[in-house]
Each structure stands twice: as C-alpha cells, then as structure tokens.
Copies of this chain bind each other. A is one copy, B any other.
Amino acid sequence: MPVVTSPAAIAALFTAIVGPDHALSGDAIAEDYGHDEALTARMVRPAAVVRPASTDEVAAILRAADQHRIPVTARGAGTGLSGACIPRADGIVVSFERMNRVLEIDEANCVAVVEPGVRLDQLDGELGTRGLVYPVYPGEYSASLGGNVSTNAGGMRAVKYGVTRHNVLGVEAVLASGAVIRCGGKLIKTSSGYDLTQLVIGSEGTLALVTQAILRLHPRPAHGATVLAPFATLDEVTRAVPRIVASGLAPLMLEYIDILTMTAMINQLGLKLGVPDEIRAKAMAYLVVALENAHAERLEEDVQAVGELLAELGALDIYVLSPSAGGELIAAREKAFWVSKAAGADDVIDVVVPRAAIHAFVQRVGAIAREHETWIAGCGHAGDGNVHMAIFQKDSERRSRILRQLFEAGIALGGAISGEHGVGKEKKKHFLALEDPTKVELMRRIKAAFDPHGILNPGTIFD
C-alpha cells in the first residue's frame, strides 16, 4: 500500500472512518489543536484532526495510520504543560472531545468508567450528588481524564490520595496496530502478568491510545477546613512539611506559596485572606493545610492539632479560613499557573524531590536565580516534594541553562525532572541529557514493543 503524505490524502483516509464532519483539514483546523498550554510551545498545524466517537473508530484510525506510517498525537482537553499534545505537521491529531461520556458510576464497587474526553468538572458534578469523589485534582478542572492518564496527573490532593497512577484501576486502550486491549479492571489488586495499566499511565500517548479508564472512587467527606500559616522564611516552611506529614494528621492538601506568588495571587485575583498588614509585611512564605473528615468534631480537633503543630514549627500566626475564604485560596492556588502566565513567566517547571529535601532544593533554586539574575517564583505540592516554579527569563538559551541547572539540582537530591507535568516535547532535551542512558534505551525498546513503526506521538519523551 502506498504511503499517503499529502494533507488532503491523509484527511480523505480518515474521513472514510469518522465522516466528513469529524476529519478536519487545512483551515478547518482551529489553532487550538496545534498546541497545549506549555508556555514555550509553538503551534504546529497537523495534516488532519480526527474526532472519533467510539473505540472501534479509534481502532480503525490507528490501523490506517499504522499502515501508512502517519504520526498520531492524542489530544484530550489540551491543558498539558509539557507540549505532549503538539502534533506533527505530517501527522494527525486524534481528539477525544466526542468520547466524553461517563459510562458508568458503579457505587457498589466504588468505581467510575469514563471515556477519555470526560472532563474533571463534569465527572465531579456527577459524583458529588452521590457522596463520592475521584480525588485527583490537578489545578485545571477542564482537563480531561484521558490527558490525566497520559501525564499521570497529580495535583493538590496527592498528599492524601496519591496521583492518577494510584487511582486508575484499569484501562481500555488501542495499540498502534489497532488491536484493542483491556487491562486491570474494577480491582484494587491483581498479580496476573505484567501490569500494562501502570505502564500506559504516564506514557504521554506514546504507547497506546486510552479509550476508557476505570477510576477508583472514594467516599466524599462531608467536612473540610483550610488553615493558612504565614512564616518569616521559606526555610521554615520547607522544614515544617515533613513534620506535618509525619504527624499522621493526613492533610488533604499541604501547599507552600512563596511571597512572589502570593503577592501576585492577591493582586491579580483580589484574594482576601484576613491576614493583617503587619503579619503580611513579615511573611516571606505561606503554608496551606487543608483537612477533611466525615465527622465535624474530628475535623475541629484536627484543625486544633494542626494549629498547635504549626505554632510549634514557627508560624507567625495561624488562620483558620472561613469556607468561602478557604475556597478562594484553594481556587487561587489552582490558578497559580495562569497567574504566572499573566505576570509574564517564560516557563514553568515542576521538579519533584524527596519531601524532606524541598528545603535544600529551594535554597539551590535561590542560588541559581541569583547567579542568572532571574526571577524564579514558586509554590508547590509541598507534601509531595513537588515544587512548581515560574521562570522569568526572556533569553531562551539562558533559560535553557537555568532549567538544566534546576533539573540537575532536583536529580542530585534524589528527585526527578517532573512530578506531574510529564516530559512531553518541551523537556525532552533535558530528560535525555540527564536520564541514565540504560533506562532510556530500555524505554525505547518498550516503546518499540508497543508501537513497532513509531507512529504514536513521535518526538515525545524521546526522539
């Protein structure tokens, strides 16, 4: 069979599968399909955008793409931060926007079965009324579950509930050959061959296209509280984190926000936290501790205990926020990426280090910032050691050197380049330079085992 290369021929190939309304080409392709939210991403117009409505259509699309060696980039909501869903100009985008059904909420087994285009807020709306929660909350609620699986998304609640990897029990996925496999199930354990579910999670669309995910649900505790503690130094905040985790109080969230980020959040979002000016003037960093419980009185006791612990750890003051102020603070923290973007950040990264090493890492970040006369503002999932940083440096070569140094610093402390954003296309250069070549070679061989012709998201994670 001849290899199809012209955009028109490629579009025609997939029109036959999904119909003319759902195989877009040329000017019919909206600009959004060409990038994600990575600040450094450059839009690439694919040869076609294909919007399947079913697993069978996805299978047919991949069979055709594999035969004709057409690169395939899967796309959920496009909210990724590492460029993993930037397509190839000679390839197609498979957009899951039409596969957006919550197929089942199985209360007896505490699981939901969803298509990849389901958005987090959509799922949460359906679960809330049933007293259940899917606890993985990356900042962006318009993100899709398919995208979450692809990047192994995390978010603020990971300190209590783990990340996507810990809450996806199974997937239906289509291999590059078009074969459909079902892995895992409504099961919290299985030891029956290699765990393909776990391998697909976090593989950024390079191993298979996920067409269904089985999600673990949890009872939704009725009561929640948010405690805000300003500290005189970021050092004290980062030192406090392991102590709070070790306390057994099991916070739902444990976030730190540095003074640059907090100021930007207050100015841009008009956040009112009730922190008096004299305290704000002294505070160089904030710790946010969210707690939840099924029992109001237990929550109250735990809030009291957290307050006492924070005081002991040197907090300048402790504020138990009203539900509305707490909600606003959490919402503002979730918007930290947008705040950074609006403030002119040139890149954002999310190095992860062992929780007790945040302190050393943040000190090293400060030294790198000074060396390069660059603003590096941060906040992060402190309980997970996952530090989100916005880098303000227009010069791209210098910025690349800064990133390299930040990644090296994280790895030297036993960490990794990315806690939850993924490698994508934007961090690939650093990943390949810093990761053990033996592991990279092994990953390439695993990639080839799944996708012998290399059609799935080429250029992501590796070249």
Contact = CB atoms under 8 A, between A and B. Distances in A.
Given A179-B438, A201-B195, A449-B449, A187 B416 contact: yes
Contact of A221 (B193, B248, B442): B248
Contacts of A353: 187
A219 B386 CA distance: 21
B435 A193 contact: yes
Interface in A191-214: 191-196, 198-199, 201-203, 207
Contacts of A125: none
A461 B191 CA distance: 10
A431 B166 contact: no
Contacts of A196: 439, 442-443
Interface in A213-247: 219, 221, 242, 245-247
Contacts of A179: 438
A415 interface: yes
Contacts of A419: 187, 189-191
A32 interface: no
A109 B356 contact: yes
A352 B106 contact: no
Contacts of A385: 187-188
Contact of A175 (B158, B442, B449): B442
A384 interface: yes
A436 interface: yes
Contacts of A181: 436, 438-439, 442
Interface in A126-184: 151-154, 158-159, 162-163, 165-166, 175, 179, 181-183
A45 interface: no
Nearest to A424: B191
Category for how many chain A residues contact B? 35 or more
Interface string A335-354: 00000000000000000111
Nearest to A198: B198
Copies in the complex: 2
Contacts of A446: 194, 199, 446, 449
A423 B192 CA distance: 6
Chain A interface mostly: loop
A189 B158 contact: yes
Contacts of A107: 246
Interface string A41-66: 00000000000000000000000000
Given A438-B175, A438-B181, A450-B442, A418 B108 contact: no
A186 B298 CA distance: 31
Contacts of A435: 192-193
Contacts of A272: none
A415 B187 contact: yes
Contact of A246 (B189, B219, B294, B450): B219
A422 interface: yes
A190 B416 contact: yes
Contacts of A436: 181-182
A30 interface: no
23 contacts: A108-B246, A108-B355, A152-B195, A154-B189, A162-B189, A183-B439, A187-B353, A187-B384, A187-B414, A187-B416, A189-B386, A189-B420, A190-B419, A191-B420, A191-B423, A192-B422, A193-B440, A194-B443, A196-B442, A219-B248, A221-B248, A442-B449, A442-B450
The 3 A-B pairs at the shortest CB distance, nearest first, are namely A108-B356, A445-B449, A219-B248
Given A165-B195, A192-B423, A248-B294, 12 more contacts: A108-B356, A109-B356, A110-B246, A154-B191, A166-B166, A187-B415, A190-B416, A194-B461, A196-B443, A199-B199, A199-B446, A442-B450
